[in-house]
Amino acid sequence: MKLLSKTISIITLASAQALTMQAQSFTWIKSVEKDTWQQSTVKLMTDRHQGADITISQVTTGPVFKAWGTCFNELGWDALNALSAQDQKTIMSNLFSPQGDLHFNIGRIPMNANDYARSWYSCDSVDGDFSLNFFNIDRDKQTLVPYIHIAQKYNPNMTFWVSPWSPPIWMKTNHHYAQHASPTNGLRKEVECPTYKVDQFIMEPRYLNAYANYFCKFIDAYKEQNIPIDIVMYQNEAYSFTPYPGCTWTAKASILFNKDYLGPALARLHPEVELYLGTINSNRFDVIDSILGDNGIKKYAKGVALQWEGGQILGKLRDKYPNYKYVMSESECGWGDFSWKAAEHTFNLMSHYLANGCETYTFWNAIIADDGSSTWDWKQNGLVHVDSHQKTFTYTPEYYSAKHFCHFVTDGSRLIASKDVNGKKPVMVFITPNHKKVIIAGNFNNTPQALNIAIGKKLLTVSMPPHSFNTFCEK
């Protein structure tokens, strides 16, 4: 997916007087494949003859960014536990501590099994238990809960959101976690499921009501573990027909469940928890528009979460529905190659979603072992790569692409300008809560590229190496 080429409009917030007090130099942090996190100093120039990529003439306003985060998965927990206690502390501190590298302060929790669970399960597997008498999170207490508790140790102020991959199988039309057959899932009979046209949830009131209550019980159970949930989303990738846990929902069914069941249940039992529509993996504007435009949905839903497909229509959605909050719910997972090219793709994703006003960004696997295989044999990437045989770990190229953003764009940072051409030279400018400018730029060309940022009467000018990540921090 290519980053949208755009420059955010600049709206004056204060006089240009603030720029007269600007720093005369920036710290330049640069990463290339064989040499990451190089630091040097760049002095601003007074010569403005070069053409500027971005001009910042005044203190400005724009979208405010709130949080970076990741999903807590069982296989990630297993990968972490393959390491020594000291290595575990190092990794978790760098991921979650405010003094670490990535400053993660939001976590995604799968409700029931996802595709990086050890095996497939739900919190209530008793067929026909509409009263949810057998609901429990006993499985989670052995894996996800202790994983999250360690993260909370390093960042006690973390917030959390929840989405299911699949409902309990007794609530589904095919009575199976997966949606189509594969050699790994035991589903032998292929069921035709045209995307956007088939609901795999049983759309009967007693099932819909039980499922809405199921969400509320999950919130209660995690609260008992001192893990507060702030946001729920009704379905992971409602428009995917998957060989791993999943469930398709039509637009009509999505509206019905959220406005008549889940929204009212949350309002009644958990008014402190917000409902977001997601996670959306569709570029069908007509479909998503029909959901977001429904008056009943507008009554309950506060935000929209997009991933994979869906990002391409983000700008159009924000233009039509500016009152929703927008978040990036899952960074793309790659193909298990842990390559610099994959890291460049992730860098572009971060640039795209932040440039289009997403206030949080959630990575997928923070920690992953060996070849990155899921239980259904899809090899994926992660930020920390564990060798479970040697009991060692490395930070992947994707980790450094994330660090160039996460380490500096903290909660309350405001995007004031962005520009890109064809995904080869993304540039973004932020103002941090301490009123410092942060410039983040990538060069994914095979040759060096000039970067010129005009700041008041000064110019930041450098030559970025080929295939590099670059961050400039005002001193």
Q: Of the candidates 312, 250, 317, 306, which has an alpha carbon nearest to the alpha carbon of residue 280?
A: 306
pLDDT of residue 173: 94
Residue-wise pLDDT tens digits, 381-437: 999 999 999 999 999 999 999 999 999 999 999 999 999 978 899 999 999 999 999
pLDDT of residue 349: 97
Q: Is 15 a residue whose pLDDT tops 80?
A: no
Residue-wise pLDDT tens digits, 28-42: 999 999 999 999 999
pTM value is: 0.94
Q: Of the candidates 312, 148, 313, which has an alpha carbon nearest to the alpha carbon of residue 221?
A: 148
Q: Is 194 a residue whose pLDDT tops 60?
A: yes
pLDDT of residue 182: 86
What's the average model confidence in pLDDT over 201-217?
98
Q: Is 106 a residue whose pLDDT tops 80?
A: yes
3-state secondary structure the chain: CCCCCCCCCCEECCCHHHHHHCCCEEEEEEEECCEEEEEEEEECECCCCCCCCEEECCCEECCECCEEEEECCHHHHHHHHCCCHHHHHHHHHHHHCCCCCCCCCEEEEEECCCCCCCCCCCCCCCCCCCCCCCCCCHHHHHCHHHHHHHHHHHCCCCEEEEEECCCCHHHECCCCCCCCCCCCCCCCCCCCCCCCCCCCECCCHHHHHHHHHHHHHHHHHHHHCCCCCCEEECCCCCCCCCCCCCCCCCHHHHHHHHHHHHHHHHHHHCCCCEEEEEEECCCCHHHHHHHHCCHHHHHHEEEEEEECCCHHHHHHHHHHCCCCEEEEEECCCCCCCCCHHHHHHHHHHHHHHHHCCCCEEEEEECEEECCCECCCCCECCCCEEEECCCCEEEECHHHHHHHHHHCCCCCCCEEEEEECCCCCCCEEEEECCCCCEEEEEEECCCCCEEEEEEECCEEEEEEECCCEEEEEEEC
Q: Is 48 a residue whose pLDDT tops 70?
A: no
pLDDT of residue 470: 98
Query: What percent of the chain is modeled with pLDDT above 90?
Result: 86
Residue-wise pLDDT tens digits, 330-373: 999 899 999 999 999 999 999 999 999 999 999 999 999 999 99
In whole angstroms, give the CA distance from residue 402 to residue 353: 13
Q: Cα-flanking dihedrals φ and ψ of residue 223, to 5°?
A: -60, -35
pLDDT grade for 59, boundaries at 50, 70 and 90: low
Ordered structural domains, the chain, with CATH: 18-56+422-474 (2.60.40.1180), 67-411 (3.20.20.80)
pLDDT of residue 196: 85
Answer for the pair 425, 469: CB distance below 8 angstroms, yes or no. no
Q: Mean pLDDT score of the chain, rounded to an integer?
A: 93
Query: In 10 A of CB 156, how many CB atoms?
Result: 9
What's the average model confidence in pLDDT over 313-335?
96
In whole angstroms, give the CA distance from residue 115 to residue 379: 11
pLDDT of residue 180: 85
Q: Is 100 a residue whose pLDDT tops 80?
A: yes
pLDDT of residue 259: 98
Q: Which two tokens stand for residue 359?
A: 């206030």
What's the average model confidence in pLDDT over 92-102?
98
pLDDT of residue 370: 97
What's the average model confidence in pLDDT over 99-108?
98
For residue 231, list its beta bridge partners. Answer: 161, 274
Q: Is 281 a residue whose pLDDT tops 70?
A: yes
What's the average model confidence in pLDDT over 214-239?
98
Q: Is 178 a residue whose pLDDT tops 80?
A: yes
